[in-house]
A and B are shown apart, each in its own frame.
Chain A
Amino acid sequence: LKLVTVFWGIVGYTRWPDTGEGPLRVCLSEDDRHSSIIRQSVYGLSESAVGVALGRPVVVHSMPTENAASVCNIVFISGPNWEKMENLSRSLAGAPVLTIGEGEKACSEGGMFCLLSSGSEDSEGIIDRFAANLDAISSSSLWVNPQALRLSKHHQKQER
């Protein structure tokens, strides 16, 4: 699976309660490869199938240090930075912000979706599967289409 397709697929199946027709704000870290892959994909988004499904303009923001809930609609935390998720998810608890991380930890630390790869660094931009943290999704005010959940592996808490 392509990282970009899965990322925008999840976004396409998510609805925010307050943002009407305005652009989706995506907050990305500055320094890692996967964030830059997503950043680059925004420009080619209008031609792709998910872009069609999205039907909304997308704006990229850099990750704010605080008050992320007012700035971001979507937060992506790449693999090595999973420890940031714990702080972030605490501050974003209940807020209408879609949190997507990399690795099992991302889901167990309060992220809504986590993208899972075999771990080989060569497979850049390719992931094996993704999981959903149903607790986090249901406690937020976001609505996620069950079609997205169908394809995801449900994260199980006891793995912690």
Chain B
Amino acid sequence: VKAVRKTLFGVLRHIVFWSVVWPLLISSVVFAGMFFYIVCAQRGDSVTLLARTVAYATEAAVMFGDRQTAIEILNDVIAKEALCRITIYSGTGGGHSVFAQVAKPCSDAPALKNALAPYLPSSTVQVAIDRDGRRLGSVEIVNDDAVIINALYQGGAALFACLVLAVLMARVLSRLMKRRFAAELASLTGMARAARLEGDFSRRLPVFKITEFNGLAQDFNALFSEIQTRNAELKLRQSHLETVNRTLSNLAMCDALTGLANRACFSEQLEIAISKSRESGTRIGILYIDNDHFKDINDSFGHAAGDSLLVNVGKRLSGAVRESDLVARLGGDEFVVLLAPVNGEDDLLHVSNKILAAMSRKLRLTEREGVDIELGVSIGMAVFPDQAHDAISLLRAADHAMYRAKRLGRGRACMYDPAIDAGLEDS
């Protein structure tokens, strides 16, 4: 047996429909039976009454032996009533004879009559014509059953029509009920689905007319607003964390004194620049810069002066290079500039000259009025991939070049030369 899954509404509709139709069918059958019984009984009663009336009306005619008047009366009656035959017997006891008789053709008996014949009341009724308790004769009436049959036909048709109407109404009602349930439940499931598929918790259900659904809907609403509030809290906390994170990473990447990138940041950016350069085949250059007089100034004017020197150098370096170039302080009085991309050694020389020119102006210390200090720097230059194969060797090459510049008399820039500087390294 194949199990068919039904919808809740289908089942409800089914229940509503049959709960209307079944009692209706049962009551219809009972009603039809009662109707049949009452019609038969009433017809029997009315025919008996009719016979009594005829007996009363024809009493005098029987008494006077007036056949003509009797027949006139009978004709009157039979013309108006659904009867097949009226007979008046005169005389008493066994010796009675037909005094007057009228008849008309009975209506055609419908097919139903044969089926109902055993249940119909007797079609012949006989009542006595009495005078002061003494019998003059009797009236016999043969009833036309078509009256009952027609009444039953009409009653049956009316009942059937009512039944059909009621069944149709039951269908309509059950549909309406289904629609009402379905609309509320559909919005409930729609909301749940939207929450599951799209993470949309902003929807809210309206007030439902059905108490149980309404309870569920309000619970859903409360649950959703809770989830929404919690989501908002989480988002807020996350953005806060992100802000903190960014601040922390800034702290990690920046030199607190000068605001320039620190060694960690520089190493990262250098690695990135090198891998880009490997991909695209362009060159990058670095300048290794060391302050010539930092130690002296620090010793003679104090740390504050040393700090302001470092800040000033940083500013001047940043002013001398392109926006895209990175200026970093590696620590102490050592700075480095990453130039990416460069065409060749000429570019580095050009930038170095710009830096040397920027440093030539003296710095007036604000702490000690009237004291000007020199910001002389020595610069070592190296180009990747011409003079080094990775970040460390490139930095080392620039460092060597810078030491050569210092040795040669400070305040100048030297390009790395493996022939000279590599040997120096070995020694």
Q: Is B66 within 8 A of A55, CB to CB?
A: no
Chain A residues near B134: list those with CB within 8 A: 52-53, 55
Q: Is B66 within 8 A of A151, CB to CB?
A: yes
Question: How far, in angstroms, from A148 to B64 measured CA to CA in the complex?
Answer: 8
- Chain A: minimal CB distance from B85 (Å): 22
B135 interfacial by beta-carbon distance below 8 Å: yes
Size class of the contact patch on chain B: 10 to 19
Chain A residues near B132: list those with CB within 8 A: 53, 55
Question: How far, in angstroms, from A53 to B134 measured CA to CA in the complex?
Answer: 6
Q: Which residue of A lies closest to B96 (CB)?
A: A49
Q: Is B66 within 8 A of A49, CB to CB?
A: no
Interface residues of B in 24-65 (CB under 8 A from A): 59-65
Q: Is B92 within 8 A of A49, CB to CB?
A: yes
Q: Is B62 within 8 A of A49, CB to CB?
A: yes
Choose the segment among A6-14, A29-37, A77-85 that binds chain B (4+ C-beta atoms closer than 8 Å).
A6-14
Contact with A along B188-216 (1 / 0, CB 8 A): 00000000000000000000000000000
Question: How far, in angstroms, from A12 to B64 measured CA to CA in the complex?
Answer: 10
Q: Could you tell me how many residues of chain A have their Cβ less than 8 Å away from some Cβ of chain B?
A: 16
Question: How far, in angstroms, from A65 to B64 measured CA to CA in the complex?
Answer: 31
Q: Is A6 within 8 A of B135, CB to CB?
A: no
Chain B residues near A49: list those with CB within 8 A: 62-63, 90-92, 136-137
Q: Which residue of B lies closest to A148 (CB)?
A: B60
Q: Is A52 within 8 A of B65, CB to CB?
A: no
Q: Is A12 within 8 A of B66, CB to CB?
A: no
B69 interfacial by beta-carbon distance below 8 Å: yes
Main secondary structure of the interface of B (DSSP, over half): mixed
A147 interfacial by beta-carbon distance below 8 Å: yes
Q: Which residue of B lies closest to A9 (CB)?
A: B64
B131 interfacial by beta-carbon distance below 8 Å: yes
Q: Is A151 within 8 A of B137, CB to CB?
A: no
Chain B residues near A150: list those with CB within 8 A: 60
Question: How far, in angstroms, from A57 to B256 measured CA to CA in the complex?
Answer: 159
Chain B residues near A55: list those with CB within 8 A: 132, 134
- Chain A: minimal CB distance from B382 (Å): 154
Chain B residues near A13: list those with CB within 8 A: 60, 63
Chain A residues near B135: list those with CB within 8 A: 52
Question: How far, in angstroms, from A2 to B91 measured CA to CA in the complex?
Answer: 16
- Chain B: minimal CB distance from A1 (Å): 6
Q: Is A1 within 8 A of B60, CB to CB?
A: no
Chain B residues near A2: list those with CB within 8 A: 65
- Chain B: minimal CB distance from A55 (Å): 6
Interface residues of A in 6-61 (CB under 8 A from B): 6, 9, 12-13, 49-50, 52-53, 55
Contact A1-B63, Cβ < 8 Å, known A49-B90, A53-B136: no
Q: Which residue of B lies closest to A54 (CB)?
A: B134
Q: Is B64 within 8 A of A151, CB to CB?
A: yes
- A-side residues, CB < 8 A to B, are 1-2, 5-6, 9, 12-13, 49-50, 52-53, 55, 147-148, 150-151
Given A12-B131, A49-B62: 4 more A-B contacts, CB < 8 Å: A1-B66, A52-B136, A53-B132, A147-B63
The 6 closest A-B pairs by CB, nearest first: A147-B60, A5-B65, A9-B64, A53-B131, A9-B63, A52-B134
- B-side residues, CB < 8 A to A, are 59-66, 69, 90-92, 131-132, 134-137
18 cross-chain CB contacts under 8 A: A1-B64, A1-B65, A1-B66, A5-B63, A5-B64, A5-B65, A9-B65, A12-B63, A13-B60, A49-B136, A52-B135, A53-B131, A53-B134, A147-B59, A148-B63, A150-B60, A151-B66, A151-B69
